[in-house]
Structure 1
Amino acid sequence: MERSFVVRLPVRELVAYAEDFARTEEWDPGTVSCVRLDDGPVRTGARWRNTSRFRGRTTELEYRLAVQEPGRLVFVGENRTVTAVDDLRFGDEGGSTRLTYRASLTFKGLAKLAGPFLRPEFERLADQVSARFPAAAETRRS
């Protein structure tokens, strides 16, 4: 799933906001909680435990920051049934930022069979993220 939207923050500020994956609580409607598992500055290898609710079920994934570049962040989350990749790309839009957000899920084992049937619900979640993310980041700035 991919969505692209503009956030009224400069690239550097938006990257600083987004690199702390614990903030998914603010913009991801499925996230119940997200807790940092290590200390220190956020850098490649930093880890979080994300608890999400989807279709009435709660699941936990451990995420790590796999790529941290000035215009790109990639978070990879895993548990025994799925690998999730959140790829965020940031581009300057004259003082604002165009964020291109790609989320991909790779199901493991028997869960692979359910993947195609769940796509419409994941698309709805992606729409909600694109609606909530700008407001969450812009509000955090104030």
Structure 2
Amino acid sequence: MPVVEQSVVIARPASEVWSFVTVAENWPSWEASTVECEQLTDGELGVGTRWRGVTRILGRRLDWVTEFVEYEPLKVATSKSVESKVGFTATTRLEEIDGGTLFTYRVDSESGLGGIFGKLADPIVAKAYSRTVQASLDNLADLLTIDS
């Protein structure tokens, strides 16, 4: 199972980072592979909330729906794909540190990426996606600290 995990320090309090990253519509503004993202269920984010989105990985379009299976405000949110060609779990984790917030984003995906690229391509796809995730996290840090 390919795993991509990257972190960045954001010079903002965890509450501000959390408030931004837990709004589905904000994801395309910072996460480079996210083309579309919206919350499907009504109400506040929590376990059972569903998001729908479109991700582009190495030029391939992946439509998905996820459901949050873990939600601890200001600390961690984990969603699992419930509709997608590729099974995956995505976790965002925040930790208050000196100088701001350590933000970690982790994606665990099925081996072979559901046949989209094939099992032999897993290491190449994971490496490319890891670079994209790190660039996205750097973009998030810049976006949230522009006005500070």
2:6 is aligned to 3
1:130 is aligned to 137
- Return 130-139 or 1-10, whichever deviates more: 130-139
The counterpart of 1:87, out of the listed 91, 110, 135, is 91
TM-score, length basis structure 2: 0.80
Question: What do you get for the CA RMSD once the two structures are aligned?
Answer: 2.3
- Report if the CA contact (8 A) 1:22-1:34 is conserved: yes
The structural deviation recorded for 1:95 is: 5.8
- Return 34-43 or 100-109, whichever deviates more: 100-109
Percent of paired sites with the same residue = 23
* Structure 2 residue runs without a partner (length 5+): none
Does residue 51 (structure 1) correspond to residue 32 (structure 2)? The answer is no
Runs of 4+ in structure 1 off by over 6 angstroms are: none
Aligned residue pairs, count: 141
The structural deviation recorded for 1:109 is: 5.2
TM-score, length basis structure 1: 0.83
The counterpart of 2:102, out of the listed 81, 98, 105, is 98
What is the identity, as a one-letter code, of the residue corresponding to 1:136?
L
The structural deviation recorded for 1:49 is: 1.0
1:119 is aligned to 126
- Report if the CA contact (8 A) 1:22-1:48 is conserved: no
